[in-house]
């Protein structure tokens, strides 16, 4: 028995490579499309910045200051706020930079609560609005959650604005971190 087989590696459709006038036409088309999209994207970005307003800009500035202050905190150190007694730490987990503020040790609740604020990922600070993640002290950090769970949490927070941090809270957090770091020189 003899078998006839098709040679492998060849396609039924042969597309000739674009050379000469065909390549020039494709490049011209790509340039026209890019020229049309760049001004539109720029206008949309400007409109988004204007729509966010002064409050979002102020939050962005405060998040940047808080992010810079937290990066200077010693890694793995838990500092005690001299005024409130809360424990403050900078959690660096999986590329995330998270501010964690835990209830003071003598808190009346059965289990201490920790408020976590994700301030950035790798070397990029978070954009407003910033969300607070309240959980028990032994619960998983947002950095330990799977990305799908983080997305669901972000969607829920965006719909309800329940855990959104206000500008005044951000200013208070910045004061608290600065006060705590100043009380504990390295």
Domain with 32, as residue range(s), is 21-186
Would residue 60 count as lying in a domain? yes
Counted domains in the chain: 1
Three-state DSSP state, 92: strand
Residue 4: predicted pLDDT:
65
Would residue 15 count as lying in a domain? no
Residue 127: predicted pLDDT:
84
Residue 65: predicted pLDDT:
93
Residue 113, CA distances (Å) to 58, 87, 103, 110, 134 in order: 28, 11, 6, 9, 7
Residue 137: predicted pLDDT:
81
pLDDT for 81-113, tens place per residue?
999 899 999 888 888 888 999 988 777 777 788
Would residue 6 count as lying in a domain? no
Alpha carbon 156 to chain centroid, angstroms: 16
Question: Contact at 8 Å (CB) between 88 and 78?
Answer: yes
Q: What is the pTM of this model?
A: 0.65
Residue 173: predicted pLDDT:
92
Between CA 99 and CA 118 the distance in angstroms is 6
Regions of the chain with pLDDT less than 50? none
Residue 129: predicted pLDDT:
81
Would residue 27 count as lying in a domain? yes
DSSP-derived secondary structure for 116-137: EEEEEETTEEPPSSPBEEEEET
Would residue 166 count as lying in a domain? yes
Would residue 141 count as lying in a domain? yes
Would residue 1 count as lying in a domain? no
Would residue 10 count as lying in a domain? no
Backbone angles phi, psi at 24, to 5 degrees: -65, -40
Residue 134: predicted pLDDT:
84
For residue 119, which of 160, 177, 68 has the smallest C-alpha distance?
68
Residue 186: predicted pLDDT:
65
């Amino acid at each position: 028995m003899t078998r006839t087989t098709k040679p492998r590696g060849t396609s039924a459709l042969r597309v000739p490579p674009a050379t000469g006038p065909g390549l020039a036409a494709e490049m011209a088309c790509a340039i026209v499309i890019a020229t049309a999209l760049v001004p539109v994207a720029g206008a949309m970005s400007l409109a988004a910045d204007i729509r966010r307003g002064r409050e979002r800009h102020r939050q962005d500035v405060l998040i940047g200051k808080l992010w810079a202050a937290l990066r200077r905190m010693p890694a793995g150190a838990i500092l005690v706020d001299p005024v409130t007694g809360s424990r403050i730490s900078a959690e660096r987990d999986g590329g995330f930079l998270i501010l964690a503020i835990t209830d003071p040790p003598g808190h009346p609740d059965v289990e201490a609560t920790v408020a976590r604020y994700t301030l950035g990922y790798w070397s990029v600070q978070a954009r407003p609005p910033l969300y607070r993640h309240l959980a028990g002290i032994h619960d998983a950090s947002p950095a330990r959650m799977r990305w799908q769970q983080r997305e669901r949490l972000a969607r829920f927070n965006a719909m309800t604005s329940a855990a959104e941090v206000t500008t005044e809270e951000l200013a208070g957090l910045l004061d608290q971190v600065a006060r705590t770091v100043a009380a504990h020189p390295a």
